[in-house]
Amino acid sequence: MGRDKGQAKGKGGSAASASAAKGDSTVQLLLRADECPICGHDVAVSEEQHILGTCGACAGHPYHIDCVQEHLEKTLKPMIREGGYGTKAWEKVQQKIKVRPCDMFATNGTSQRLPVNCPACKSGVMLAADMVKPVRKLTPAPPLAPPKQPRSQQQQQQPAAPAPKKGPVTPQPSGSALVRQQAAAARASLAGNSLGTRSGSGLARAGSSASSGGGGAASAVPRPDPIPSRPTWLRLCKSVAEDERCYVYNCPFCHSVEEQQEREAEYLKEQKEAARQRRAAELEQHRQEQEQREQRQREQQQAAARQEEQEDEEAEVAMAQALCAAAEERQAAMRLEALAREEAALQLSDDALALMKRHKRKSCIASLCEMGYGAADAGAAAEASGCELSAAAGLLLDGGLSGKDSTVVSVTR
């Protein structure tokens, strides 16, 4: 919703001006046809969506949608507060202002609870408000392509191709001349390292080139060999190519085109099988490596899980030990506090309390010595038990003096 708010107002111009004389309350409005009475800027009627409002006192004017929404919020909020409505009612009114600003801005043939005054003349009431959308210009359609002509007319328009000219008929060689030409073609193919060239096609090309008057060895074009490094038993025998006979016993070369083709087929089949086996071995090796990697990952995860469990257990044990130590410290503090309260209740001086504690300690050690215990053990038991005779005797009988701290002596027991 673009606004043309950058345009400045001219002198005497576009803003609404009111002139009031003495005793005259008439207001004269000077507004442009496309000016919004609320903000004073022009409304792009042909480009943006706007509201066309009609007042009962003045003519209709275009309004920006957001200007109408802001005007309604400013106007209706005091009216709702004065009417005694709560916050929920104002929230409902705000929702209606955002969704249906036209219905809240004008009566539109219905009875409104909160009528809105005209922003232009300030005296009339808005009677109608409509949402106006700009009319978009359609893009002209592209011109139609010319219709296609039938195929029969296209053939008639195209000129007919000239008939091929018949050349002189070349006589084909036969008999011994054909055999000599074939042998010469075979020698040329062997000399030119055309190992992959089939003998039948090479002899045919040599015969056709000889019949056309050119040299067979010079015009022969070798084909790409399907077997780059051809072994001996896949090559054609030179004796057969020259004299059509071979006198070598167990000659490893091929002695006919059919034999060479059979050997090539077997060789290619063996090579494919070997390649398939190599590929299968590579896949198997890759699978084993993948399984080993997965196994190592699982072992690492299990080790990490065990380490984490062990750390959790150690943390729990340390926490339990800390809680036990804290509980023991609290119990010792409570015992000391209770002992201090008991000693305070006796209302004795510090010297008297110290004298009573020394007497209790000496009597406990003497009793333990009478039972047959040594003076050192009796003193340690007395210190650990707080000079309580029964507790000290129990410690000596159980042998639990190691690691025991001294206990405060109580004179109240």
Write down the H helix ranges in 4-115: 65-82, 87-99, 101-105
pLDDT single digits (tens) 350-394: 888 888 888 888 888 888 898 888 888 888 888 888 788 888 888
Residue type, 6: G
pLDDT single digits (tens) 287-337: 999 999 999 999 999 999 999 999 999 999 999 999 999 998 898 888 888
User: Is residue 269 very low, low, confident or very high in pLDDT (cuts 50, 70, 90)?
Assistant: very high
The yes-or-no verdict on residue 2 having pLDDT over 90 is: no
The yes-or-no verdict on residue 144 having pLDDT over 60 is: yes
List of residues 6+ apart from 107 with CB closer than 8 A: 115, 125, 126, 127, 128
Lowest-confidence segment of 119-123, 196-200, 386-390, 409-413 by average pLDDT: 196-200
Joined together, the tokens standing for residue 323 give 């809680």
Tokens 């009612």 correspond to 89
Residue 94 near residue 76 (C-beta atoms within 8 A)? no
Joined together, the tokens standing for residue 277 give 């086996």
Which of 25-29, 295-299, 382-386, 396-400 ranks highest by mean pLDDT? 295-299
The length of the chain is 413
Residue with the larger pLDDT of the pair 128 and 187? 128
Domain boundaries, the chain: 50-132, 176-255, 273-347, 350-413
Residue 12 in 3-state DSSP?
coil
Q: Closest Cα partner for 62 from 33, 21, 82, 87?
A: 33
Q: How far apart are CA 82 and CA 113, in angstroms?
A: 13
pTM of the model: 0.30
Checking 91-96 for CB contacts under 8 A at 24+ apart, the result is none
